[in-house]
Structure formats: C-alpha cells, structure tokens
Chains A and B, each alone.
Chain A
Amino acid sequence: MRNIAIPYLIDCQVNRHNLILNFKIPLFYSFFKSLVGKDVVVELKNDLSICGTLHSVDQFLNIKLTEITVTDPDKYPHMSKNCFIRGSVVRYVQLPADECDTQLLQDAARKEAAQSKQ
C-alpha cells in the first residue's frame, strides 16, 4: 500500500486577481506512516520508555503501539498489551538505524524548510 501524504491547507490569500492557496505536506507524519509495523521505543517526557510495534500514527503524531513492554526497570507495574500515546508527551522515538534512510529524510526536510521560507 502506498503511503500518500495528504496536504493540508495552512494559508489562504485572496486579492483582486487570484486566490493563493498554501499547502503543507506533513513530513514526519508520512515518515511515521512508513514505519508502521516496525519496532520502536518511545521515550516520553515523564521519563517513561515504552517499547512496542508501531500500529498507527495520526496527524498530531499521536502513536498507537501494540505488544508493548517497558524497557526500563519496572517502575511501571502496568499490564497493557497496547497503548495510545499522545503526541505532545513524546520526547524521542528510537528506531533501528536500518529502518530510516537519513539522507532521504534530510533532503526532504531541507526541501520543506526551503518551501516554507517562501
């Protein structure tokens, strides 16, 4: 299944002659969608680390993980098999190096930065 980035409208300007629409393609949303099914470790802003398989992600970068385990010593006597993590509390998402093409990501980020500068 192709992962297609869905552009969303960030700006709209109207003058007498035309309508200018400014779209933004969510880069990291697309990146995470390409990682669905892979094992990741999510470190949260409350210092909790949760290891699991990436089930899904949404436009706010909320993350749903399945088959979770807690990586740190069990300060966390929790017993779910899956969880939903709000995007705003994620500090890091750790992935194996071979799941990520850093060159591609860097180029894409540079392009996006250039586009948003205009």
Chain B
Amino acid sequence: MANALESYIDHTVSVITNDGRQIVGTLKGFDQTINLILDESHERVYSNTQGVEQVVLGLYIIRGDNIAVIGEVDDDTDSSLDLSNIKAEPLNPVVH
C-alpha cells in the first residue's frame, strides 16, 4: 500500500525544503523517511526584484525531515520558462 515516489525516479523533480528553498534535480533514490538522492541538482533562488538565480549543486542527499513538497517537473514546460524574467516572493519557511 506504499504511496511511493517510485514513479518520480529518474525524473526531474522540484523539491521545496522546510526553509523555503527550491531545489531542482533528477531523483535517483529515496527511502521510507523521504531522504532523497538528487543528481544534477541546482537551487533556484526567487526574488521580488531580480530574475531567478540558479546555484549549481551537483549530487545531493537531502534529509527527509527537511522536505516539504516534491513536485514532478515537466521538462518541456520547464525549458520554456524564461527564468531571468520571473519575479516572485520567496517562500515562507515551515512553522510547526
């Protein structure tokens, strides 16, 4: 009855962390506590004033405690995004 992340494996995913960061990468692995292995990952920093900044991270393990949302990214839609023109408020951190 596992609601698994298996269908996201080897797909590009966007992870929202508890401190309000967005990290995009290829999901390589996960476990029961939702620790993730993300390959070719980069962080997207949004701001109200300038376009999106991308920080390249590489191969990352993100601990499940820190993960809020995992979104499956549609590569076509994603590549059509003009990141230098997107302005948005940064996300709030998770407050328990």
Contacts and interface: CB of A to CB of B under 8 A. Distances in A.
B91 A82 contact: no
Interface in A37-63: 44-48, 50, 56-59, 62-63
Secondary structure at the B interface, as helix, strand, loop or mixed, is: loop
A84 B69 CA distance: 6
A117 interface: no
Contacts of A82: 71-72
Contact of B72 (A46, A57, A81, A88): A81
B64 A86 contact: yes
A21 interface: no
A33 B79 CA distance: 35
A58 B57 CA distance: 31
A86 B34 contact: yes
Contacts of B96: 45, 88
A82 B70 CA distance: 9
A96 interface: no
Contacts of B34: 62, 86
Interface residues of B, number: 34
Interface residues of A, number: 30
Nearest to B68: A89
Interface string B58-88: 0000001101111111100110010000101
A6 B20 CA distance: 35
B14 interface: yes
B49 interface: no
Interface in A1-57: 6, 44-48, 50, 56-57
A-B pairs, 7 with minimum CB distance: A80-B71, A58-B3, A83-B71, A56-B3, A89-B68, A84-B70, A46-B92
21 contacts: A45-B95, A46-B16, A46-B18, A46-B91, A48-B69, A50-B69, A57-B3, A62-B3, A76-B88, A77-B86, A79-B81, A80-B14, A80-B72, A81-B72, A81-B74, A83-B71, A84-B3, A84-B71, A86-B67, A88-B65, A89-B94
